[in-house]
Every structure is written in structure tokens, then in C-alpha cells.
Amino acid sequence: MCGWKTRRQLAKIRQGAVFAYPTDTIWGLGCHPQLASSVARLLQIKQRSANKGLILLSASVEFLTPYVDDNDIDRLRQLQTESASHPISWICRSNPDCPQYLSGQHDSIAVRITQCEPVRALSTGLQSPLVSTSANISGRSPIRNALQAHKQFAHLVDFIVEGHPTRVARASQIRDLNSGRVIRN
């Protein structure tokens, strides 16, 4: 069962909140993936092109089924333990119903099964993945802790999930799910 603070954050996310939060890699900006207006606001805050696409962080492979091709969901289930040992973002074929505002100009979408407890609590509470992109203005260095999040984003986001500095000092490795090719190490 989640605490009152998490329940309040979940209610805000369902209502369209954009927030900053710690992940299992660098800090992120996030929102609910089914709320196009929230995604548009997140992209505006970050000053990021909608063509680039976004990543989905999830506590469970099952929450990704509306966004990821069925065959790739099966493959993700097989690789779930590999992703648990170190953060890997997988490029998967997108489900035909995946909103273009998430996949951008691609026929794929990036996903990661997260081990970060605050993210897992929010994802599980929503029964949904969370949109994620690095917490920075495009072209600048990502933030690394709650203090930096408050300094850069307190006036732009609806709330900041308190958390510790991130576990690693860089973004996750990105791999193509089907070929195994490393896109970013």
C-alpha cells in the first residue's frame, strides 16, 4: 500500500500533472502517457521536439502492452531479469495504437523496466508506465538531485518527487530489442 504523499501524487498525475523525479539512472521529467496535453506540456518545458519520441518507465512489462508490439512484449518478458541487473532501455516496435506523441517520427518506442522504488510505486499505483525524458532543458546537462530539481523546475512542474541522487551518473544503455545492437552505451 502506498503512503498519502504517493496517493496525492497519483491523483495529480491522473489529472495531468508534469513532474520531476529520480529514476534508476538520471533524473527525469514525467507525466501520464495517455494524456496528450501533459506530454505536450512536458515537451514545452524541456524545449524538446515532438519528433524525437520519449521513453516509458514501467514497474511491469504488462503495463507496456498498449504501447509495445505483442511480439516485443514477449521478448521483454524474457529479458526482464537482464534489465534488473543494470538499467537498459529497449527500443521496441510500437503497438499500432501507440500514440504518435510518444513515439515521435519512429515506428518504435523506448521502454525500461525500472527498479527505482519511487518510480515503481507511481507506475504500480497508476497501473501504467510513466513518460520519462531527462530532466533538463534540451542541450543542457541533466539534473542529478532534488536540490537541482527544485532550482531548475519548481516553477515549471506540478510537483517534485523527493528522492536520493540517482544510482548512476549517466543515462541508461539503449539497445535494440530484436537485434541486441547497442545504440547508446
pLDDT digit string, tens, across residues 70-113: 999 999 998 876 655 678 999 999 999 999 999 999 999 999 99
Q: Which long-range contacts (CB under 8 A, 24 or more apart) does 73-77 make?
A: 75/177, 75/178, 76/111, 76/113, 76/177
pLDDT digit string, tens, across residues 142-160: 888 889 999 999 999 999 9
Give the mean model confidence (pLDDT) for residues 42-54.
Answer: 95
**Per-residue buried b or exposed e for 139-148, using 16+ beta carbons within 10 Å of the residue's own CB:** eeebbeebeb
Q: How far is it, in rounded angstroms, from Cα 32 to Cα 146? A: 21
- Residue 130, SS3? strand
Task: Tell me the backbone φ, ψ of residue 157, rounded to 5 degrees.
Answer: -110, 165
Q: How far is it, in rounded angstroms, from Cα 81 to Cα 20? A: 27
Task: Tell me the backbone φ, ψ of residue 24, rounded to 5 degrees.
Answer: -80, 0
Domains and CATH numbers, the chain: 4-184 (3.90.870.10)
Helix%, strand%, coil% for the chain, nearest 5: 35, 20, 45
Task: Tell me the backbone φ, ψ of residue 100, rounded to 5 degrees.
Answer: -65, -25
pTM equals 0.92
Q: What is the mean pLDDT of the chain?
A: 90
